[in-house]
Structure formats: structure tokens, C-alpha cells
Structure 1
Amino acid sequence: MGLDVINMLTKYNHDVTSGRKIKWIVIHWVGAASTAVNNGTYFQGGDRGASAHYFVDDNKIVKSVRERDIAWAVGSRGYLDQGSPYAKYGHKYFGKCTNSNSVSIEMCCKKGSNGLYISKATLERTARLVQAIQKRLGIDNDHVIRHFDVNGKLCPLPYVQDSKWDDVHAILTGQKFTIKTKGRLIVRKTSSLLSKKTKVLKKGAEYQIIRTNAKDTRGKLKEGGWITITSKYAERI
């Protein structure tokens, strides 16, 4: 993958298989201050009732479960509430994304004055891993999701709100860039050209794109709404 990955494979809490079709990459956070090696050691140490394929921190990527094997990371018998007003929105891929068809990546946390957080360096290292897996397995950007999206678990907690996740998702998948409009562009509510018109952008202005559709023809603005980003309508700068 062109990445320095440390193998710390666990003999616990995963299903050995071969030839499975991986359709999803699921992003998690560890939920406690730790390092990738800390987590690799912990999951090698006994039955933990769960597992993940990778753990990432500022400096290292640790592989705990082989990609060809099934980690115990996103499975649930139902939706999770956890007392959050957001939880009910977070299970749109339940039953579609499962342990059997996904790779799970856990981002390690640091502890600051305001509590746990994911550092910029960890995000950047995770992005390198995500994009390498996407390229190798042919996984599009829409199939890079949160654990939250599977069953409503508040994971990764800092990115449960969609506005925050959109920005991080753009970093993880390499979609964050700036465009300059070549003419007046219509902004629509969703990526569909038939969705509701919300406003019009002026010619010659610069805007930040934080997500693209599968064909890379439509882009989501940081401020919200979608525009056409093909070379006829916009210049990437």
C-alpha cells in the first residue's frame, strides 16, 4: 500500500475467511487516549469481544486483523440510542454495511483540556490508509462511512454531526479542494440536478468543495448545497 504498517495480528475475536467482497470502509474512534501500538497489544492480549482491522495514531498504523478476515466492529442486533438526539439519524446503512463486507479503521485519541480529540496528524495518516484501500479495492467515496451510519453508535463521536463529518470525510477521501466559477452556477439542495434550487453563485468567485459525487461531476459546497464542477463550469485551483 506504500504505507508503513505494523503487523500485530490478534488470534481473538474475528472470523477467518477468504474471498469476501469488501464494499465499505468504516471509520471509528477508540474513545480513550491511547496509541496504535497500545491497541494492538490490548487486542492481542485476550478475548475482548470486539476487533478492528487497523488502528492509526500520529506516527503509526497497526494492523490487528487481516483484511481478508472479518473483524467484529460494526455488528449490532439493532439500532443504538445512547441518549443522543443524533442517534436516530445514524443508522441509514444498517443491514447494508456489515462486518462481513467492510474494513474497519480505528482512529486513536488524544486528551486535551476539552476532552478527547483526533489530531490532525492522525486524520492525515488515516486518510493515506483510506485512499490506499479505496484504490486497491475499488471503493468509491460514498462507501467510506462512520460506525454511526451503520447502527447509530456515537462513533467517531467528534464527527457525529453531519457538518463536521462532511469536512473530515473530504479529508479522508481526498475530495477537499477549491473551485473558481466560470459563470453563474445554480446551487441545488442535493447532488441531483432535479433537486430544489437554493441560490446562484456569481461568476469568477472561489468556493471550497468538500465532497463530490461518484462521477466527480457534482460537488458539495462547504456552505451547503451542490453545484456542477465539470471543466465547462468551474476551474479547480
Structure 2
Amino acid sequence: MNTYKGHRNGKRRASGRSTAAGRGKGKSRRKAAVFVENTYIKWGILILAVLTLALAVRGFLSHGGTYVNVDASEPDIDVQLLDVNPYSRPGIESNGITGIVIHYTANPGSTAQENRDYFNGLQYSQETSASSNFVVGLDGEIVQCVPTWEVAYASNDRNYDTVSIEVCHPDESGKFTDETYRSLVQLTAWLCVKFDLTADDVIRHYDVTGKNCPKYFVEHEDAW
């Protein structure tokens, strides 16, 4: 009897050790799984950080060292529509927008307001036909002159299917200020979303007629 009991007790003790060992292995497996999961998370965070940094550097270099964070939300627009007249706002409906054309004013130091007023005054001077849907100023202000669904006299053969943006610049180089550039990018991005356009649909006046406009971005292709 004693031998039998001892045998049973021995089995029990052996079984207890086996259970403890199994629990230990289970804990080890769980720890290993947690370690692997944490490692993947850490690597994922690291890769995301590297990609974010790479995109930031690309954005920084793309504008000559000035980082621009693209914001496609609707910008603050000062709507000052021109009077309907044959010289700057004919009141003709566009054929549907398929592109955005960027211009420069070719009038160093002039403001968005001054360019808007010049367009409106053409109905009286009648010296030429010219206008733009928007003008972006030296401090980043945006003035709207012609509705986006109407023709503006800015882009020659593309007047009827594009939105035109005139951009102010401080000097003869035609380079925009950082404030102007940021507003231009936001306005353009918002218009792309509004009309379901891509970056390829954003062009220079130069791409329509070969005119040196916008000057800085014609003479510095890498900046464009």
C-alpha cells in the first residue's frame, strides 16, 4: 500500500512539474510574441518617420529651400468681381474647366488690389483686353476678379476651359515671395479638388503660347 501510494504521489509530483513547465513555456511564447509585435511596431514607426522626413525634405527642396505644406482647403478669398464689360469680364460662360494657368503680372511691386482695379478700369481706357479669375498679392492675399465659371482674358486659346491666376512679384526676377507662393499653392490645390484636376493640369502661360510667363518659372524649370 505504501509503495503504491508513494508511486501515486510521485506521479502527482511529476505531473505538477510538467504543468509548471508547460506554463513556463506558455509564458515564454507569449513574451516572444509580444516582443515580435513590439519590434514590428517600432520598425513601422521608424519607417513612417523616415518617409515623413523624406517628403518634408522633398517639399523643402522643391521651392528653393522654403518648405511648403500643401493645404487644399478653401483659402481666404476677397471677392471683388469686375463689372461685366467687353474688355475684362465679358460674362461668357466657360466650356468646363480642364486646367489652371499660372501667370505673373510683369509689373514688379504692384499689389493684388492694383491689378484688380487695372482690369476693371479697362472698360474705360479700352486699351486692351485683359483679366484673370484670381490675383495673388505680395502678402499672400487673394482677390477674385472673375467667377470660375466665366471666361477671363488671360490665357489666349485656353480662356474658355481654364481658370487663370495672376501672381504678384516684388522685383524684375519674377520670383514670388514665400507668402505669395504659399497662397498660390493652396488656391491651386483647392481649385484642383474643386474641378477634379491633377498636378498635370496646372500649367504656365508659357505652355500655352510660349510667352515668358510666369518669368521665374520659365527661366527656372526646376523650380516649377
- 1:49 is matched with 129
Give 3-state SS (helix, strand or coil) of 2:223's partner.
helix
Give 1:9 shift.
1.1
- 1:60 is matched with 141
Q: Does 1:2 align with 2:58?
A: no
Q: Deviations over 1:144-191 (max 9, x none)?
A: 000000011110111113xx33433xxxxxxxxxxxxxxxxxxxxxxx
Number of corresponding residues: 143
Given the superposition, is the C-alpha separation of residues 30 and 19 from structure 1 closer, same or farther in structure 2, using an over 3 Å criterion?
Answer: closer
Counterparts of 2:162 and 2:97, CA distance in 1: 5
Structure 2: state its 5+ residue gaps. Answer: 1-72
Q: What TM-score, normalized to structure 2? A: 0.59
Counterparts of 1:18 and 1:147, CA distance in 2: 21
- 1:40 is matched with 116
Counterparts of 1:155 and 1:31, CA distance in 2: 8
Structure 1: state its 5+ residue gaps. Answer: 76-94, 169-237
Counterparts of 2:173 and 2:149, CA distance in 1: 35
Given the superposition, is the C-alpha separation of residues 165 and 14 from structure 1 closer, same or farther in structure 2, using an over 3 Å criterion?
Answer: farther
Given the superposition, is the C-alpha separation of residues 151 and 7 from structure 1 closer, same or farther in structure 2, using an over 3 Å criterion?
Answer: same
RCO comparison, higher one (Cα < 8 Å, 6+): 2
Identical pairs, percent: 31
Give 3-state SS (helix, strand or coil) of 1:149's partner.
helix
Given the superposition, is the C-alpha separation of residues 130 and 148 from structure 1 closer, same or farther in structure 2, using an over 3 Å criterion?
Answer: same
5 Å-filtered alignment, 1:22-101, equals 22-32=97-107, 33-47=109-123, 48-57=128-137, 58-75=139-156, 98-101=158-161
Determine which structure has the larger helix proportion and give its number: 2
Give the counterpart letter for 2:100 in structure 1.
Answer: I
Structure 1 contact 6–63 (Cα < 8 Å) conserved: yes
Give the counterpart letter for 2:82 in structure 1.
Answer: T
Give 3-state SS (helix, strand or coil) of 1:106's partner.
strand
Give 3-state SS (helix, strand or coil) of 1:117's partner.
coil
Given the superposition, is the C-alpha separation of residues 122 and 70 from structure 1 closer, same or farther in structure 2, using an over 3 Å criterion?
Answer: same
Given the superposition, is the C-alpha separation of residues 138 and 117 from structure 1 closer, same or farther in structure 2, using an over 3 Å criterion?
Answer: same
Structure 2 contact 174–214 (Cα < 8 Å) conserved: no
Give 1:42 shift.
1.6
Give 1:21 shift.
1.0
Give 1:4 shift.
1.1
Give the counterpart letter for 1:102 in structure 2.
Answer: T
Give the counterpart letter for 1:118 in structure 2.
Answer: F
Structure 2 contact 140–181 (Cα < 8 Å) conserved: no
Q: Deviations over 1:179-230 (max 9, x none)?
A: xxxxxxxxxxxxxxxxxxxxxxxxxxxxxxxxxxxxxxxxxxxxxxxxxxxx
Partner residue of 1:106 out of 136, 146, 166:
166
Structure 2 contact 104–174 (Cα < 8 Å) conserved: no
Structure 2 contact 132–146 (Cα < 8 Å) conserved: yes
Q: Does 1:160 align with 2:211?
A: no
Given the superposition, is the C-alpha separation of residues 165 and 129 from structure 1 closer, same or farther in structure 2, using an over 3 Å criterion?
Answer: farther
Given the superposition, is the C-alpha separation of residues 19 and 72 from structure 1 closer, same or farther in structure 2, using an over 3 Å criterion?
Answer: closer
Give the counterpart letter for 2:147 in structure 1.
Answer: R
Q: What TM-score, normalized to structure 1? A: 0.56
How large is the Cα RMSD of the aligned pairs? 1.8
- 2:183 is matched with 125
